[in-house]
Amino acid sequence: MAKKAMENQEMEQKQAQEETSQPAQKTDQELAEERHYLFDAPISELAEYAGVSVDEAAKLRVMEMVKATPPKMEITVRPVEPQGNLYGFARITVGGITINDFKIVENKDGELFVGMPSRPDGKGGYRSMAYVDKDIREEFNAAVIEEYHASVERVQARAAALKDKPRMADQMEKAGKQAAEHNASHPASAKEKTAER
């Protein structure tokens, strides 16, 4: 009897270990089926597939959709006249959080990259103000540099458009000459003659 109890206990432990151990890797077909139910199938089918109520299935779908949707990233770039290796500044807003003072700088190889925001630390150095992992840093870098180049192109296009237009000082000078010629070609009116007397 003790032997049977020990066997039962061992079996229960084994079963508990199997339940707590990592689930087996899903095949591509199983993953595709799961994605279908999570994102494409009607909620009632998802509820049946997951073995939950329709309300819980709706919550599950919303949570999975939120996980699958990356937060919106907005980038504002302000190019500056290059000062040493500094080429501009950027502001990034991700999911409602705004981070200012990214620097667009040139490295020793002449490539542009994004420097993270930093402030003087009082010890003669600088302290980073935002910490991100490598993947996010690369994503920020690519997006900011792309927006920087687009911004520079817009500024150059505006400058080229203005180059074709005459300067305001030139327009004023031309208008003054035309007015003088007009006044010289027209005799003074009777009103002006009486004003001169």
pLDDT at 76: 94
Domains of the chain: 29-69 (no CATH), 73-164 (3.30.1120.40)
- Output the CA–CA distances (angstroms, integers) from residue 41 to 31, 60, 140, in the order listed: 14, 13, 35
Give the percent of the chain with pLDDT over 70. 81
Helix 43-50 vs helix 54-68: crossing angle, to nearest 10 = 100
DSSP H/E element including 112: strand 112-115
38-72 pLDDT per residue, tens: 888 898 888 898 899 989 988 888 888 878 777 78
The predicted pLDDT at position 149 comes to: 94
Q: What is the mean pLDDT of the chain?
A: 82
**pLDDT (tens digit per residue) in 67-79:** 877 778 899 999 9
